[in-house]
A = this chain, B = another copy of it.
Amino acid sequence: MAEPTRPMRRHEIRRENEKAILVAAEKVFAEAGFGGATMQLIADLAGLPKANLHYYFATKEELYRSVVQNIFEIWLQAANCFDAARGPIDGISAYIDAKMEISRRHPDGSKVWASEVMHGAPVLQDYMESTLREWTDGRVEIIRRWIEEGKMDPVDPRHLLYMLWAATQHYADFGHQIETLNGGKPLSDRQWREAKENIKRVILTGIGARPA
């Protein structure tokens, strides 16, 4: 064997196994939902015995919680695009790009997140009432300022945000439908680019965004 099963450091093992479990769990939760997912399936996909999962994550709920929180982190990072912007064209463009990239690179995570919210956010309720609300209020304020400064038409900021979330998230959550309507093939690079451009163009034109 070229690979002499080099021994692993403790923390290395821990990190790698947790990672493998989280990746597998994200996929299984996305495909089957919380109720339909089984620890056995996740274990198989992660290449570990089921009992080992319970060594790292005591219960299915705890594992699910970790998966959901991971997604929330990624989601929040993308949200920062808004801050650096000087006006709606920069800010909203960057945000759409970031969220579309998430839809493309983390479709499973997006689905888990969608599923969680659809089922009443049993795990994330706290985050939604604190972090998410604060983030949203902040962005609403930014948009309101843009409107005051005449950088865009007076559009309800909340409904605009919902539209941004919806339009971008759709490409992950309903990816299967889009793929089916695309002749059963995943969107190509070009099609993803077109999707992004379309959303940007329609929304930015739609809100009458003007250069700072």
B-contacting residues of A (Cβ < 8 Å)? 30-37, 111, 114-115, 117-121, 125, 128-129, 132-133, 136, 153, 155-156, 158-160, 162-163, 165-167, 169-171, 173-174, 176-178, 180-181, 194-195, 198-199, 201-208
Which residues of B have CB within 8 Å of A207? Answer: 202, 205-206
* Chain A interface, >50% SS class: helix
Which residues of B have CB within 8 Å of A125? Answer: 180
| Residue from the list B136, B159, B198 in contact with A194, Cβ < 8 A | B159
Q: Are B166 and A170 in contact (CB under 8 A)?
A: yes
Which residues of B have CB within 8 Å of A201? Answer: 155, 206
Q: Are A177 and B33 in contact (CB under 8 A)?
A: no
| Residue from the list B30, B118, B171, B181 in contact with A132, Cβ < 8 A | B181
Which residues of B have CB within 8 Å of A169? Answer: 166, 170
